[in-house]
């Protein structure tokens, strides 16, 4: 027989619980409905106390409506909890969210090892009590003609009660509930008008009741196990996705640090190694000090967010001038702060463009302008060097690749206009 608890919403286990409640509700409606032809066709004469039988039937219908309304509401209330909400907002698995919040299993929606939630379990146990009372009392209102035949209306709903208990209660509780229903049925039927003469039919019905309950428990347990396996697989997939995202974030961070080192420390060391810089000059010493400060900040968790695009670009200009490149710079209307990622991307693009001038343009002079406009910014780097044909350069290499990597990924635009012996114009822009 089944063993379950209310589950967190959105999981396969929660859907199975809701399905079982709805299925047993439909079954109970059919089981109660099969008796309707008796009063509708004037068949109440088979009862010694027809008014009592009819009143009991109407009470059972009212109780059934109350029972399954309460079960569905309780399931929704128990599963609509903080861990489930936190899991949906953060992407954490529901069980993990409950553990992080300090809520014990079985509280606030995590699967309870003992079965249905406390209030819901009381609803089902009350249903068992109502069905057992009916099995004891209704036969006394029957004549020998109706006991234990189909006009004995309380038997089919009692089977439904056993099925509900088997599907929604822990195994031990469901077995006890089914045993109580069997005892009530046998006792009420043998004490009724039919007495021992109906023992064969009573035995047949008792076996059917126990068999249907066992089958319901078996099916519910199978469905619930499949749901648990599916939820476990989903949680494992989410955990794997989270690990992959964390690994990707670490890789991106390492790539970013490499790019920064490439344009600062490594560039300085390479130029000194090739003899293009004299490490004894004050300018190179200042540059080395800035590179050392950058490394120190990297080791101690990195520098604070940028102080603005103008400040960042001025730092790039100082660095490149220290390497021997003469830069004419003008900044206009750059007071409005930009998102940090955009500021970093534009700064990296300018640094790459100036590095390209230093390495390939055949000139030691460049012009840098940055203009703010309507919440955005446009930055140009111009040189009058040897130029090149952009269409002959693979998009996946050199300056074009670096510009796209820096700017396009944050929603900006990058263009390169150049021709042999006509210099180069690099323009990067970003708009809110």
Reported as a single tens digit per residue, the pLDDT across 194-247 is 555 567 778 888 899 999 999 999 999 999 899 888 888 888 888 877 777 777
Q: Give the residue carrying structure tokens 């929603």.
A: 411
Q: Convert the pLDDT of each residue in 259-290 to its tens digit.
A: 767 767 777 787 777 777 777 777 777 777 76
Q: pTM above the 0.75 mark?
A: no
Q: Span 304-430: which CATH code?
A: 3.30.565.10
Report the C-alpha gap between 232 and 26 in whole angstroms: 30
For residue 142, give the DSSP letter: B
CB 14 within 8 A of CB 72: no
Q: Convert the pLDDT of each residue in 101-134 to its tens digit.
A: 333 333 333 333 334 566 688 889 999 999 999 8
CB 202 within 8 A of CB 186: yes
Give the mean pLDDT of the chain. 77
The pLDDT confidence band at residue 297, using thresholds 50, 70 and 90, is: low
Write down the H helix ranges in 264-330: 265-273, 282-299, 309-322
Report the C-alpha gap between 147 and 145 in whole angstroms: 6
Segment 286-304 mean pLDDT: 59
- Rg value, the chain, Cα: 40
Q: Give the residue carrying structure tokens 């044909």.
A: 389
Provide the residue ranges of all domains of the chain, joining segments of one domain with +: 12-244, 304-430
Segment 390-406 mean pLDDT: 71
Structure tokens at 86: 């936190």
Report the C-alpha gap between 154 and 205 in whole angstroms: 12
């Amino acid at each position: 027989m089944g063993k379950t608890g209310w589950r967190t919403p959105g999981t396969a286990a929660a859907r199975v619980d809701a399905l079982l409640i709805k299925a047993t509700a439909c079954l109970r409606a059919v089981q109660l409905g099969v008796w309707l032809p008796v009063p509708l066709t004037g068949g109440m004469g088979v009862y010694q106390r027809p008014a009592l039988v009819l009143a009991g039937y109407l009470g059972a219908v009212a109780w059934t409506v109350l029972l399954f309304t309460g079960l569905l509401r309780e399931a929704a209330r128990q599963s609509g909890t903080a861990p489930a909400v936190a899991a949906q907002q953060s992407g954490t698995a529901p069980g993990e969210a409950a553990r992080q919040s300090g809520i014990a299993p079985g509280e606030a929606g995590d699967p309870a090892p003992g079965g249905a939630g406390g209030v819901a379990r009381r609803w089902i146990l009350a249903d068992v009590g109502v069905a057992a009372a009916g099995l004891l009392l209704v036969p006394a209102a029957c004549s020998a003609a109706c006991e234990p035949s189909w006009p004995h209306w309380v038997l089919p709903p009692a089977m439904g009660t056993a099925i509900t208990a088997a599907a929604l209660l822990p195994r031990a509780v469901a077995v006890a509930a089914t045993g109580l229903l069997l005892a009530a049925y046998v006792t009420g039927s043998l004490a009724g008008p039919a007495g021992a003469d109906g023992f064969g039919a009573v035995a047949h019905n008792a076996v059917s009741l126990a068999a249907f309950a066992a089958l319901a428990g078996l099916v519910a347990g199978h469905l619930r196990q499949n749901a648990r396996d599916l939820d476990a697989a989903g949680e494992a997939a989410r955990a794997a996705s989270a690990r992959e995202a964390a690994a990707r974030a670490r890789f991106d961070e390492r790539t970013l640090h490499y790019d920064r080192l490439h344009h600062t420390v490594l560039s300085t060391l390479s130029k000194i190694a090739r003899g293009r810089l004299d490490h004894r000059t004050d300018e190179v010493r200042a540059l080395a000090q800035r590179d050392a400060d950058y490394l120190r900040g990297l080791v101690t968790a990195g520098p604070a967010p940028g102080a603005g695009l103008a400040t960042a670009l001025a730092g790039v200009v100082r660095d490149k001038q220290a390497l021997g490149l003469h830069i004419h710079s003008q900044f206009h209307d750059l007071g409005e702060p930009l998102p940090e990622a955009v500021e970093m991307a534009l700064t990296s693009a300018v640094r790459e463009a100036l590095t390209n001038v230093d390495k390939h343009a055949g000139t030691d002079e460049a012009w840098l302008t940055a203009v703010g406009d309507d919440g955005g910014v446009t930055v140009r780097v111009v040189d009058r060097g040897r130029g090149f044909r952009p269409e002959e350069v693979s998009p996946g290499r050199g300056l074009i690749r670096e510009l796209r990597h820096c700017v396009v990924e944050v929603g900006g635009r990058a263009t390169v206009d150049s021709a042999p012996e006509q210099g180069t114009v690099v323009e990067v822009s970003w708009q809110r």
